Amino acid sequence: MTRVMGILNTTPDSFSDGGLWADRNHAVEHALAMVSAGADIIDVGGESTRPGARSIGVQEEMDRVLPVVEAIVAQATVTVSVDTSKPEVMKAAVAAGAGLVNDVFALRQDGALETAAGLGVPVCLMHMQGRPRDMQSDPRYADVVTEVEAFLVERALACEAAGISRARILIDPGFGFGKSLQHNIDLFRALPRLCGGDYPVLVGVSRKSMLGALTGKPVEDRLAASVAAAVLAARHGAAVVRVHDVAETVDALKVLQVLETAVHPSR
């Protein structure tokens, strides 16, 4: 069954929570609520990677993320994932109890691959064209699916060569990261192919602008679109869905599980 990763932003400029959870106690409360709602993983991020976002320093990211990771680990039985590209943050977050490194830069930062390998935790490798600041200015591919898949396999093999076992690697096509609406749709359509490869696939589309483009709705009104996309991703093989709305997604996936099996008993 597809697992649910709940998004916990600790960034003051977080793209859809408007800094609501910037305060540590609120962040931890929100994490615990997502655990109660059925989240399998809580993804803690300190640096926004949405389109147009600017990067922050190591210390600032540590200050945002570490106390929250520590508090969640102390109060809940859940895997905490750290959404970071910085090796120093990976190391400190795992020392604080994180059990997964989620890197939108796919461990390409200097020292990140070696650091993650040394930590012995699973990793999620995401595809991104460009950098958050300018990735949405005219993204181009000759063949988006082939290029994204080749990149992810290359990064996964680099991880294996560095000592990260195949069982500890997740891949992610990176919806919204240097992709036009059509690129995102092409990648979504290729989920059966991507999910049929050697690595489990994580899908993150929750509240993203591709859903805004499809529905004409602003970010605060994308719940139904997000749940629909999560259900479809699960239906087509996603191992993990990364979502804001955990309770709604968990219910939808339970219904999918039972009714899909009723329609297709072989699944």
Active-site option among 193, 242, 254, 267:
242
Residue 81 — left, alpha, or beta (φ > 0 → left; ψ -120 to 50 → alpha)? Answer: beta
Indicate whether 51 belongs to the interface with ligand PT1 (CB under 6 A).
yes
- For residue 158, give both structure tokens: 């680099």
How far is the C-alpha of 251 from the C-alpha of 258, rounded, in Å?
Answer: 11
b or e along 131-151 (b: 16 or more beta carbons within 10 Å of the residue's beta carbon)? ebeebbeebebeebbeebbeb
In the chain the first and final C-alpha atoms are separated, in Å, by: 11
Q: Per CB under 6 A, does 85 bind ligand PT1? A: no
Nearer to ligand PT1, 158 or 260 (CB): 158
In the stretch 104-143, what mask flags binding to ligand PT1 with x, by CB under 6 A? x-------------------x-x-----------------
Stretch that binds ligand PT1, among 28-36, 69-77, 160-168, 170-178 (CB under 6 A): 170-178
**Calpha distance 218→264 (Å, rounded):** 36
DSSP letters, 103-171, are: ETTTT-STTHHHHHHHHT--EEEE--SS-TTTTTSS---SSHHHHHHHHHHHHHHHHHHTT--GGGEEE
Is 208 labeled as catalytic in the residue annotation?
Answer: yes
Q: Does 178 bind ligand PT1 (CB under 6 A)?
A: no
Q: How far is the CB of 261 from ligand PT1 (least distance, A)?
A: 28
Minimum gap (Å) between residue 2 Cβ and ligand PT1: 15
Nearer to ligand PT1, 104 or 119 (CB): 104
**DSSP 8-state class, residue 219:** G
Residue span 214-253 as binding mask against ligand PT1, x where in contact by CB under 6 A, dash where not: ----------------------------x-----------
Q: Which of 24, 208, 217, 235 is catalytic?
A: 208
b/e burial code for range 79-108 (CB count within 10 A of at least 16 → b):
bbbbbbbbbebbbbbbebbbbbbbbbbbbe
Q: How many residues bind ligand PT1 (CB under 6 A)?
A: 19
Contact 85, 112 (CB under 8 A): yes
Of 18-26, 44-52, 110-118, 250-258, the segment contacting ligand PT1 by CB under 6 A is 44-52
The residues that bridge with 41 in the sheet, in sequence order, are: 5, 79
Q: Does 61 bind ligand PT1 (CB under 6 A)?
A: no
Active site residue 179: no
- Give the residues lining the site for ligand PT1 (CB under 6 A): 15, 49-51, 83, 102, 104, 124, 126, 172, 174-177, 202, 204, 208-209, 242
Catalytic residue list: 208, 242
